[in-house]
Amino acid sequence: MNLSFEQIEILSPNLIWNNSLENHTTKQPSSNLKSWLTETNLLTNRIKESGHKYAVRVLKESLSATPMLLKNKNDADQNYVREVALSIDNDACILAQTLVPNSTLELNRWIQSLGEQPLGERLSAMPKVSRSAFEYAYLELSEVSIWIRRSSFDIDNTLLWVAELFLPALDKIKD
């Protein structure tokens, strides 16, 4: 499935975010997908521990306005936005979009030089980093549901936000 964040923004202008998957009364993810959506540890560690191979491909890095998936989180006109695809065993499974306000970027310039290194791995090695609780939404595309989670990271009192789209191929990845 080839999706871009631009397509998602067009197809989902009115996503409903919930603090719990159980609050989505009309649709529920499979038990396997739910385990991925609620995973609080690094997704890359879980992938490695289960014997799968992963790769990160940078799709876009730019200075831009706040993307739609994070619109109510930040209202700055200029932010650093990074979009990546995480493939597992050569199948695109997760799209991730990171929003870094200029105030956070000024104190964390390393974010711009991540390249194909996962953001989570870098954050987990830093002191004074915490992650917020997840918010969840889903999007119906023809016969497929795309589940989305988003959260923020506090890096020594500066914030960045991450939205992650869980593509259907992820449901086939078992531990």
pTM, full prediction: 0.91
CB contact burial 60-89 (16+ within 10 A = b; e otherwise): ebeeeebbbbbeebbeeeebbbbbbbbbbe
Point out the residues of the chain with pLDDT beneath 50. Answer: none
Question: How many structural domains compose the chain?
Answer: 1
Task: Give the model's pLDDT for residue 25.
Answer: 65
CATH number of residue 147's parent domain:
3.40.1410.10
Helix (H, G, I), strand (E, B) or coil at 4: coil
Q: Name residues whose C-beta falls within 8 Å of residue 45's C-beta, 6 or more positions apart in sequence.
A: none
* Digit-coded pLDDT (tens) for 6-42: 888 877 777 888 899 887 767 889 999 999 999 999 9
Q: What is the pLDDT of residue 149?
A: 95
Range of the domain at 160: 5-172
Asked if residues 52 and 36 have their Cβ atoms less than 8 Å apart, the reply is no
| CA angle 22–74–40, rounded 5-degree value | 40
